[in-house]
């Protein structure tokens, strides 16, 4: 049984192409996540749907330098039970929402959807996962426990 001779360099090209593909995927994931401290929670399915909502969350901040600290996909009913004042936008019947935690310096009235008197170093943005509509926002100085619960200094 004779082996078909390979052209020199074919294996090297295949290896190089595979390595390049792995590097591109790794860089894409790193870019999507922002910093190394990003927390991602997957509840009721993939959190990938929440990355479609990221532009809505970023727009609510009015601060392009804010750092994404984490993303969670949660059942709206669970959030509403804990915070009864939170309601979905009119006409949005979404059962899940995406919560985004950002760190930075947020001044009173800067973050859309948050009470205008709130200021701090942490912003939590809630966006509906289907219609990608801003549900509510909150600004403070401490991350919620689900995002690490640590105090963030200015």
What does the DSSP assignment read for the chain? -PPPPPPTTHHHHHHHHHHHHHHHHHHHHHHHH-STT-EEE--SS-THHHHHHHHHHHHHHT-TTPEEEEEEEEEHHHHHHH-TT--PPTT---SEEEEEEEEEEE-TT-STTS-TT--EEEEEEEEETTT--EEEEEEESB--GGGT--B---
- pLDDT tens digits, residue range 81-120? 888 888 888 888 888 899 999 999 999 999 999 999 999 9
pLDDT confidence band for 28 (50 / 70 / 90): very low
Share of the chain above pLDDT 70, in %: 64
pLDDT at site 7: 57
Assess contact for 143 and 69: CB atoms under 8 A.
Answer: yes
145 within 8 A of 96, measured Cβ to Cβ: no
pTM for the complete prediction? 0.66
Domains of the chain: 39-147 (3.10.450)
Q: What is the rounded distance in angstroms from the CA atom of residue 38 to the CA atom of residue 69?
A: 5
């Amino acid at each position: 049984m004779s082996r078909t001779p390979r052209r020199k360099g074919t294996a090297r090209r295949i290896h190089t192409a595979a390595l390049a593909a792995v590097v591109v995927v790794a860089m894409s994931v790193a870019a999507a996540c922002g910093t190394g401290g990003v927390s991602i929670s997957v509840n009721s399915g993939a959190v990938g749907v929440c990355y479609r909502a990221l532009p809505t969350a970023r727009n609510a901040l009015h601060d392009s330098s804010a750092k994404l600290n984490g993303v969670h996909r949660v059942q709206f009913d669970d959030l509403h039970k804990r915070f009864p004042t939170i309601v979905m936008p009119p006409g949005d019947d979404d059962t899940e929402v995406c919560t985004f935690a950002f760190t930075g310096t947020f001044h009173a009235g800067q973050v859309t959807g948050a009470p205008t008197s709130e200021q701090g170093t942490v912003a939590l943005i809630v966006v509906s996962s289907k219609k990608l509509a801003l549900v509510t926002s909150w600004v403070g100085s401490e991350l919620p426990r689900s995002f690490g619960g640590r105090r963030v200094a200015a």
